[in-house]
Amino acid sequence: MIDFIQAQKAFQNYISSYDMTIPSIRLKVVHTYKVVECCEYLCQHLHLSKEDTDLAMLIALLHDIGRFEQWMQYQSFADHKTIDHALFSSQLLFGKGLIREFISDSQYDDIIKNAIEQHNRYRIEDGFDERTLLFIHLIRDGDKLDNFRVKEEERIEDLLYVSLEQVNQESISDKIYQQFLHEQLIYAPDRQTHIDMWLSYIAFIFDLYYPCSVQYIQEYHWVERSFDRLSPVNPHVYQQYMTLKQIALDYIQKRSNNVV
C-alpha cells in the first residue's frame, strides 16, 4: 500500500536540512512537486488505476532526491562532471534504507529503484518487463515535461550559470545542430556552448514516449516559449536557431497528427 501523504511529509522532513534560499535548491524542490503533478496528469490521461497513479507519483517525488546533496557537494547539476544523480538518488534510498521513510511496503522497491535509475538515461537499458517500463516511461516523460516550465520560469543565469547576453553571443556546435536537425535526443557530453545546452533541453521532445506528453507540449506552446527565451546576435547562428525551431514545431505537429 502506498500512502502518498505520508511520503510527502517524509520528503519535507528530508529537505528541511537544506537551505531553501539557495536558488538551485529551491529550483529542485519546486521541480520535484511539479514532476509529481506531471506524472499525475499522464496517469489520468492513460486511465491508470489509483495504485499505479500513487506509485508513479511516489517515484516522481523521489526521482531527484540525490540532487540536493549533489549541489551541496559540487555546486553543479552537471552529471557528466560530477555524479550520476539518478544512481546517487537510488543509492541514497536503497543503500541505506532511506526508502522505508517514504513507503513501508517493499513490494514496489524494484520498480521504484529501476525507474529512478533509468529516468535520466540517454537510452533506457534493455531487459525490463512491461510493468516496470510503464513507470520508467512515466517518470522520463514527466521529468521532461516539467523541464520546459523550469526553463521558462527560472533566470537564465540560474540555469546556465552565465548571463543571457553571453549566451546570445555564442554559436551552435555542428554536432548539436545535426543531432537536433535529425530529431535526435542530444547527448549531453557533446555540448560545447550554452546554446548547445539550451537546445539539448528543447530536444527532450524527441524522446517523449506518450502521445499525451506531446499534446501537453503543444497545448502549452512549450517549443515556442523555450526558443523565444534566446535570440542569438550572430545572423548565421540566428538563422540556424530559427531552422531548429521550425524542426521542433514540425515534429510536435507531426506527432500530434498521428494521435488516434
- Co-location of 92 and 40 in the same domain: yes
Same domain, 146 and 47: yes
Residues 167 and 120 in one domain: no
Average pLDDT over residues 121-125: 95
pLDDT tens digit string along 21-40? 998 899 999 999 999 999 99
Domain that holds residue 260: 162-260
Average pLDDT over residues 227-244: 98
Q: Among residues 129, 154, 179, which one ends one of the domains?
A: 154
pTM for the whole structure: 0.94
Rounded CA-CA distance 80/91 in Å is 18
Whether residue 15 sits in one domain with residue 99? yes
The answer to whether the beta carbons of residues 88 and 171 sit under 8 Å apart is no
Given 100, 128, 154, the domain boundary residue is 154
Inter-residue long-range contacts of 168-173, CB under 8 Å, 24+ positions, other chains counted: 168/230, 168/231, 168/232, 168/233, 169/232, 169/233, 169/234, 170/194, 170/195, 170/232, 170/237, 171/195, 171/232, 171/234, 171/237, 172/196, 172/199, 172/232, 172/237, 172/240, 172/241, 172/244
If pLDDT is split at 50, 70 and 90, which confidence band does 260 have? very low
Phi, psi of 169 (to 5 degrees): -90, -5
Rounded Cα distance between 44 and 152, Å, is 25
Give yes or no: residues 139 and 88 share one domain: yes
Q: How many other C-beta atoms lie within 10 A of the C-beta of residue 30?
A: 15
Query: For a pLDDT cut of 70, what percent of the chain falls above it?
Result: 99
Pick the last residue of a domain from 154, 176, 206: 154
Number of domains in the chain: 2
Residue pLDDT, tens place only, 66-79: 999 999 999 888 77
Domain CATH for 141: 1.10.3210
Mean pLDDT of the chain: 95
Q: Same domain, yes or no, for 126 and 167?
A: no
Q: Are residues 170 and 132 in the same domain?
A: no
Do 110 and 180 fall into the same domain?
no
Cα of 23 vs its chain's centroid, Å = 18
Chain segment 159-206, per-residue pLDDT in tens: 898 999 999 999 999 999 999 999 999 998 899 999 999 999 999 999
Euclidean distance between CA atoms 244 and 249, whole angstroms: 9
Using DSSP's 3-state secondary structure scheme, residue 43 falls into helix
37 and 135 in a common domain: yes
260 shares a domain with 203:
yes
Cα separation of 135 and 168, whole Å? 38
Instruction: Give yes or no for residue 108 having a pLDDT over 80.
Output: yes
DSSP class of residue 104?
S
Which set of grid coordinates corresponds to residue 187?
547527448
pLDDT (mean) for 6-31: 95
Cell 517525488 found at: 61
What pLDDT band is residue 259 in, cutting at 50, 70 and 90? low
Is 190 found in the same domain as 221?
Answer: yes
Same domain (yes/no): 12, 104: yes
CB atoms within 10 A of CB 147: 19
